[in-house]
Amino acid sequence: MKAFPTLIVCEHCDAVYRRPTLAPGEGVRCEICAAPFLRLSRLDVDHWLALTMTSAVIYVIANVCPIIRVSFNGLHNETTLWRSVAALAHGPVTLMAVPATLTVIVVPLLHMLLLGWVLLYARRGRRAPGFRIVMKLLVTLRPWSMIEVALIGILVSIIKLAGFLHVVPGVGLWAMGVLTVLFTLIASPDTRHLWSLTESDVAV
């Protein structure tokens, strides 16, 4: 399949345009359906990569450190994100463990790794090996990361449990809050303009 990096397609109506030259922060609307379909990020590639690497570190903290600590009659217990998902797998809603694992743990990790991979090469104006496939995957994965939904769910649980248990938010929960903001920053920019910022060494 041949790639056409000088062309761009509206995601909403499939109209094809020649890729415009935009300044950071500028965007264009589709002339057919009027939907905004391309906006250039204010982040340059170096900042984008730095934020992606920071997100990966915060992701590890969010997964390793306890997100919640519960005390009741002198008994204490704490859980991490991983243990929460494992508990789902062993509870009455076993099937929920699969989408929870994918949307909260697997997809965000995959997204950060793939984005970091293409940005690492893009900062030198080059296309990473497997560039075309990675770019497609990034567009596919973007709607399936739901860290913010998990965060809201945990906060609601804390509020409900706080009525009859002593509940203390853990470091993992604060890390999830920071990760939600960082992930929004790195996942929001349109990755398609990386086509025009990079040149291929070989056919990708």
Which CB, 8 or 186, lies closer to Zn ion? Answer: 8
22 or 97: CB nearest Zn ion:
22
Q: Could you tell me which stretch among 32-40, 89-97, 100-108, 161-169 binds Zn ion (CB under 5 A)?
A: 32-40
128 scored as a contact of Zn ion (CB under 5 A)? no
Ramachandran sector of residue 26 (left: φ over 0; alpha: ψ -120 to 50; beta: rest): beta
- Closest distance of CB 8 from Zn ion, Å: 11
d(CA 1, CA 85): 39
Contact 145, 184 (CB under 8 A): no
H helices within the chain, ranges in order?
Answer: 45-64, 81-90, 97-101, 107-122, 131-141, 147-161, 171-187, 194-197
Query: Which window, 26-34, 68-76, 109-117, 169-177, contacts Zn ion (CB under 5 A)?
Result: 26-34
Which of 10/154 has CB closer to Zn ion?
10
Nearer to Zn ion, 12 or 42 (CB): 12
Could you say whether residue 32 binds Zn ion (CB under 5 A)?
yes
Full DSSP string of 103-116: IIIIHHHHHHHHHH
CB of 36 to Zn ion, least distance (A): 9
Which of these segments, 2-10, 72-80, 167-175, 177-185, binds Zn ion (CB under 5 A)?
2-10
Strands 68-72 and 75-79 come out as antiparallel
Our CB check for Zn ion shows the closer of 30 and 135 to be: 30
Query: Which of these, 188, 173, 191, lies nearest to 58 by C-alpha position?
Result: 173
**From the CB of residue 139, how many other CB atoms can be counted at a distance below 10 Å?**
12
- Candidate residues 3, 4, 7, 13; the one interacting with Zn ion per rule CB under 5 A: 13
Nearer to Zn ion, 33 or 171 (CB): 33
What is the C-alpha separation between 120 and 128, in angstroms, rounded? 8
Identified binder of Zn ion from the candidate list 3, 7, 33, 87, rule CB under 5 A: 33
The residue ranges that bind Zn ion (CB under 5 A) are 10, 12-13, 15, 30, 32-33
